[in-house]
Structure 1
Amino acid sequence: MAEIKLTQLSHGGGCGCKIAPAVLESILSTAKEKMAFPNLLVGAETSDDAAVYQLNASQAIVATTDFFMPIVDDAYDFGRIAATNALSDIYAMGATPIMALAIVGMPVKVLPVETIRDILSGGESVCHAAGIPLAGGHSIDSPEPIYGLVALGVVHPDQLKRNSEAQDGDVLILGKGLGVGVLAQAMKKGELDDKGYQALIASTTKLNTVGAELAAMDGVHALTDVTGFGLLGHALEVCKGAKLAAHIDMTDVPVIEEARVFAEQGCGPGAIERNLASFGEHVDFGADLPEWQLRLLADPQTSGGLLAAVASEQADEVLARFQRAGFGYAAKIGRLAAGEARVIVR
């Protein structure tokens, strides 16, 4: 049998498959009201990373699901990336994962059993690294390969980190470099060398475990993870929730080294244009910013980094915690200030 490239079996890959922000907002416009369940601490109203339900005075359960089509051709790596991405939503709430279930949709008449097994093994390896069981799941026969997890975690209600509670004067810290979507597109075009592929895998399979560590810090006011809507989209969600403006210095935004040259050449997935079209007047770019930088800010980040809004006096300590945890690209990228909910990039 000829080698089957997973990315050729799907119309899109990774978090680039997400429905565009403006379209999703329209679809969910009637589902944003707070539901009448007092123990539901977080629902759909703020587009947060996971739902949170309080069990008792010291425990809340955090629940999320995330799945997508292949972003790479290697089956084991695809499973690892999808599982890492799903668990990131737990860490983005300041929670610790406790269990996961697999979501599996595979074209069983197209893919060899060994390939499907490798995808599942990749996901299982990430759960093992996170110290949790992959306790079951659900599978269907589907025309495109789909894999992901239902992830459950726990957090003390007082240490829950929403995406909507940033404060005026907070420093914005980004945990991973941008450019995952750019690298994935370069790979699909056959232009990515081994060094670039390893950079892609290193970023997308690094668990955002530091999120659980940041939960105990009162100065960390808000957390989210940067995924399919790009840095701009997820920063804008923080701004809307807190009714603040984000001021981002493009010179401080970290970019994965191997992605920069492709970004400068205009390489990137179609989701970039969909994202940019969704932000409209809520984003203000400096007149001197080159086009490739604007596009990079909207690049969908599969299994991207945490974005933290932190009190200025604790920003250095938070950045140091990222760096001690192995996040070499972590950086302060801007501040939040009073003003209309928007992202201003200079």
Structure 2
Amino acid sequence: ASDLIVHTLPEEKRAPKPAWDKLLFGHHCSDHMIKVRWTKADGWDTPTIVPVHNFSMHPYSKVFHYAQELFEGMKAYRGPDKRIRLFRPDMNMKRMRQSAARLCLPDFDGDELIEIMKQLLQIDESWVPPIETNASMYIRPTLMGTEPTLGVQPSNEAMLFVVMGPVGPYFSTSQVKPVSLMANPKYVRAWPGGSGDSKLGSNYAPTLKAQQEALKRGHQQVLWLYGDDHQLTEIGTMNIFLFSKRRDGTLELATPPLTEGLILPGVTRFSLMDLARSYGEFDIVERVIRMQEVEDLIAEGRLLEIFGAGTACVVSPIGEIGFEGKTLTIPPPKLSLRLLKELTDIQYGLKPHPWSVVVG
């Protein structure tokens, strides 16, 4: 970060800001980006912040043929004091480095990249929406193999870049509406020993077909199942939580374990579990959850809630699940709304917390 080279656009050449109340996810990009080149022979070049521009790459570049690409999703928030905050960026960097190792792409110093991203945010700080909009700045660090040779081998050249832009709140109104899920066992997102626990672009393209089918069937998202016993793994691109009452009357918040490599280790997932533990009101467990259990809990009146968790929406309550010709109705959200408020208060700086990292 101390070697950073910065080239900025003059004010008159910077793009106009979008209307904060009409923001769409991923449609708006700020003026500047981080760009760092790597080669096996020479290591990392000096990092740069430059105006956003198109890349010129050889058609043989490995990213085009063998999907040697990974990314992170993180956000910055403007608080009531006008200051900008990142949310647990160290966890994003840890996961990004793990994803890089999975693709045999180069390792890097996550703390240094955080410092460079802070400088990028200061340069493009006018792109961070005010707190009154409930919007935020989405940040997309990306690493890809760029060596211009065909052949299924680790890339000897790579490019790390970071782009960002303002995004509106996931829910368009103050009311958080539960979503409907399609659970179709024929579609599988990840499997033991695969790459489902890494944030790779190659994990996402194959999910589009199932998402299209879900929309055609009147659902908003896909509930990803695995195995003959129909294990619940993720919801769309989110981690999943199930809140229920045990037969002895105690309460339990459960989420699938990370041990088999089926589940992406979400930053929001870890954060919600930590917050829930701080309540001291129920048990938080990581264990396998099956569709048969969901059906039994509903039949016995012990299912309290199911919700998804991720960077984009923070928390997304589930209202129903379409599974094997049945519609399973999920009780209305309570705990998830409590967790949503507490976590967003931390993210926007309304509640002081060590997870919230002030920029500048």
TM-score bucket of the superposed structures, by smaller chain: under 0.3
Say which one has the larger Rg.
2
Greater strand content? 2
Provide the TM-score with structure 1 as the length reference. Answer: 0.27
Relative contact order, CA 8 A, sep 6+: which one is greater? 1
